[in-house]
Amino acid sequence: MPSRDQYLRGPKIDPRPITGRETIADLVDNAFLAYNAGRLAEACRLFSQRMLVDDATVGMSLTGAMTPAGLGMSTLIPLIEAGFIDWIVSTGANLYHDAHFALGLALHRGSPFVDDVGLHEEGVVRIYDIFFDFDVLLSTDHFIRQVSERPEFQHAMSTAEYHYRLGGYLAEREAALGLKRKSVLSVAHACGVPIYTSSPGDSSIGMNVAEQALTGSQLRFDVSADVNETAALVFDAKVNGGRSGVLIIGGGSPKNFVLQTEPQIQEVLGVSEKGHDYYLQITDARPDTGGLSGATPAEAVSWGKVDPDQLPSAVVCYLDNTVAFPILAAYALATRSPRPLKRLYDQRDRMLRDLGTAYRAARLERDARAEKATARQSS
């Protein structure tokens, strides 16, 4: 048991009065001292001081309707361009709705306290307090189908390859329209950041690809490639003496997909590993309901997803992501210099080969042990 002095060794709560001249970093360090504000301050320092060292590879998962609220442009894109996010697992919906902006289509701030029947009759779509014309969906669908029917899309591919190619065409449209703002997919394309979707059929992008399959398109999402590529990203970070961190915005399927990379390496492929080094989640999901979204980093240790030696530094913030994520980003951008882009998209083939080599070696060793065990039992 810790001693009395150990319990009381934390800094005294003695903040300076707020003057109105504070930066975000000042506010986090001086006023976010306890409760969920305290956890957010811990998250800001974990992300900035430990996860953003040069040899750490940062994977991120993104759920919730963040991009329609503008967080793609305001928050995620600056982190990508600064080299603070190296690979992403997102819901398809976030990528689809972010594409509206690249096509010059408008989303508007509204109110959640409206008559939805009236909205429907007027052809207005609502995401809580965000309104947009139904034609925004039709125009985006048309663009996705036009791009996806091109010859370079007519084969099975990982979602990272699909999003990379789509991001290139969105960048062309942004330039043609003279837009200063950019989309997440076009910036990820430029920065070589691979973006995966764990459930590619569960969004309007997947729905449009499915529509084209009815007319003979050869485009298919290769989910096995997604599993192996994401595992290869993490394996490459760790096997070369680096570290792997995960920034989890929300929960859901993308949270599991970014974390399951370690069980894929350890449990399925049989390659010796210890789990992700850094775990940071911002969520409003509770752990006691048994859902994956609220599952704690301690529970993730039992699956091999998180390195047990690093558990004391894992942080979970129970906060609204539309509030906490911009604060986390602002703190990181204020306190850390940009990192060189890792451009992991460009290295996928090499990393897959390295993972395959390690897997084959581990399988040979496992088979040899099994043969010895069988021989002992039969003798």
Phi and psi at 87, nearest 5°, equal -155, 155
Which one from 182, 238, 255, 305 is the annotated catalytic residue?
Answer: 305
CA distance 126 to 132: 7
Cβ neighbourhood burial of 92 (10 Å; 0-12, 13-18, 19+): buried
Please, which residues have CB within 8 angstroms of residue 97's CB and are 6 or more apart in sequence? 65, 67, 68, 107, 127
CA distance 197 to 223: 9
- Kindly state the helix (H) or strand (E) to which residue 249 belongs, with its residue range: strand 243-249
Q: Shortest CA distance to 160 belongs to which of 185, 135, 181? A: 185
Cβ neighbourhood burial of 149 (10 Å; 0-12, 13-18, 19+): middle
- Kindly state the helix (H) or strand (E) to which residue 282 belongs, with its residue range: strand 278-283
Please report which residue ranges of the chain form alpha helices under DSSP H. Answer: 4-7, 24-31, 35-45, 71, 77-81, 92-102, 116-121, 134-148, 159-177, 184-191, 204-213, 223-239, 252-259, 261-263, 297-302, 321-335, 348-378
CA distance 192 to 87: 9
Residue 58 in contact with residue 76, Cβ under 8 Å?
A: no
Counting Cα atoms < 13 Å in the Cβ hemisphere of 168 gives 12
- Kindly state the helix (H) or strand (E) to which residue 221 belongs, with its residue range: strand 220-221
**CA 66 from centroid of its chain's CA atoms:** 12
Respond yes or no: is residue 180 known to be catalytic: no
Phi and psi at 70, nearest 5°, equal 95, 0
CA distance 99 to 183: 6
Q: Which residues lie across from 125 on neighbouring strands?
A: 132
Q: Which residues are catalytic?
A: 305
